Structure 1
């Protein structure tokens, strides 16, 4: 880690992560390199290695940031809405993921590569954020669906979180993919992130 203040180190890390996110909007994981990321930061490409050892670590940090932003959304929800009917909560939870498209995209693509090609300390930091997201959703369930048992909450978590990995590829499709589905004569109903997530939450909550 380079010498300097903790504030500067954090700012540099955030700049690198944000540069990666910007490239990811128009490029795929495979084509994004550390050189590409460095080209849109305010410091030299080689300086990136002071903060991240691989491209995958940068993407993992981006995924961690997305989880942390989602956690903040859920914390605000619990703070601002003390009570809600289960159906209202299902709608709110679905909307929270609707605004986290980058989270869903990263979850569905190259997740294994990101974890395997990151140092254990970086992976541990990420796992802490992931664990907090599980805790936060369970706290939401306790608050908004108080009749759920502990066992039922665990069943919800271990169904809902794996489901999240499939949201992006089932809702965000390219023109090429859509054309291929039509040529293959696959009768597929396209849904938005909100629609597919809301439907799944209602199913898991039996509402």
Structure 2
């Protein structure tokens, strides 16, 4: 491990995270094992532990990558040359989040356990990328909605990011959850990540 080039290490970590991401589309966090991830890659279980010490660290790496990719999308909005009004900004951010299903799922379903069972240095790496998301989000607000005060932008930010954690369960309820809602005659609507995000931001931008 020590003699491997960083480029090789990063590539192998990416392959492991890709396999984990694929499994997560069909299985829950608790049901995925290192053995499953091994079967999706060319790595044995002992080899995987050379790159991640636990399943939680693989998921944390995946979440960090997801936030990094979202940051890239947010930066494109922040650095764009097109003028956006409040509605246009809400739509642009909603569209960027629509592509981050895995990020929303991990954040909603397993974040606390993943953070608690990962090495501190990896948690710091994730928090750094998350902080960048907060900062770029606020940059978008500052650029396109000039009449908002700093305190107003902060209130929107502190409302939006916790709100994001509830998006996935609302958009993708399980069959069991749907059956329970039907049982008690609780109405629910089929919505998308885009729709939930857009409607919330539109409300916050008023």
What is the TM-score normalised by the length of structure 1? 0.95
User: Compared with structure 1, are the counterparts of its residues 100 and 192 closer, same or farther at alpha carbon in structure 2 (3 Å cutoff)?
Assistant: same
Report the Cα distance in structure 2 between the residues aligned to 1:80 and 1:151, rounded to whole angstroms.
24
Q: Does 1:100 align with 2:100?
A: yes
How many residue pairs are counted as aligned between the two chains?
206
Report the Cα distance in structure 2 between the residues aligned to 1:175 and 1:109, rounded to whole angstroms.
16
Report the Cα distance in structure 2 between the residues aligned to 1:167 and 1:38, rounded to whole angstroms.
30
Report the Cα distance in structure 2 between the residues aligned to 1:14 and 1:174, rounded to whole angstroms.
29
Q: Note the C-alpha offset of 1:32.
A: 0.7
Question: SS state of the match for residue 90, structure 1?
Answer: helix
Report the Cα distance in structure 1 between the residues aligned to 2:114 and 2:182, rounded to whole angstroms.
33
Give yes or no for contact 1:98–1:193 (8 Å, CA) kept in 2: yes
Structure 1: gaps spanning 5 or more residues: none
Q: Does 1:16 align with 2:16?
A: yes
Q: Note the C-alpha offset of 1:60.
A: 0.6
Match in the other structure for 2:91: 91
Match in the other structure for 1:156: 156
Q: Note the C-alpha offset of 1:204.
A: 1.0
Report the Cα distance in structure 2 between the residues aligned to 1:129 and 1:38, rounded to whole angstroms.
27
More displaced stretch, 21-30 vs 72-81: 72-81
Structure 2: gaps spanning 5 or more residues: none
Report the Cα distance in structure 2 between the residues aligned to 1:107 and 1:116, rounded to whole angstroms.
13
1:142-193: per-residue Cα shift (whole Å, max 9, x none)? 1111221111111111000000000011111233322321121112233221
What pairs up with 1:1-207 in 2 under 5 angstroms?
1-206=1-206
Q: Note the C-alpha offset of 1:9.
A: 0.6
What is the TM-score normalised by the length of structure 2? 0.95
Report the Cα distance in structure 2 between the residues aligned to 1:108 and 1:81, rounded to whole angstroms.
33
Report the Cα distance in structure 1 between the residues aligned to 2:202 and 2:81, rounded to whole angstroms.
19
Question: SS state of the match for residue 30, structure 2?
Answer: coil
More displaced stretch, 21-30 vs 69-78: 69-78
Q: Note the C-alpha offset of 1:40.
A: 1.4
Q: Report runs of 4+ in structure 1 exceeding 6 Å deviation.
A: none
Report the Cα distance in structure 1 between the residues aligned to 2:79 and 2:153, rounded to whole angstroms.
20
Question: SS state of the match for residue 107, structure 2?
Answer: helix
Report the Cα distance in structure 2 between the residues aligned to 1:2 and 1:20, rounded to whole angstroms.
24
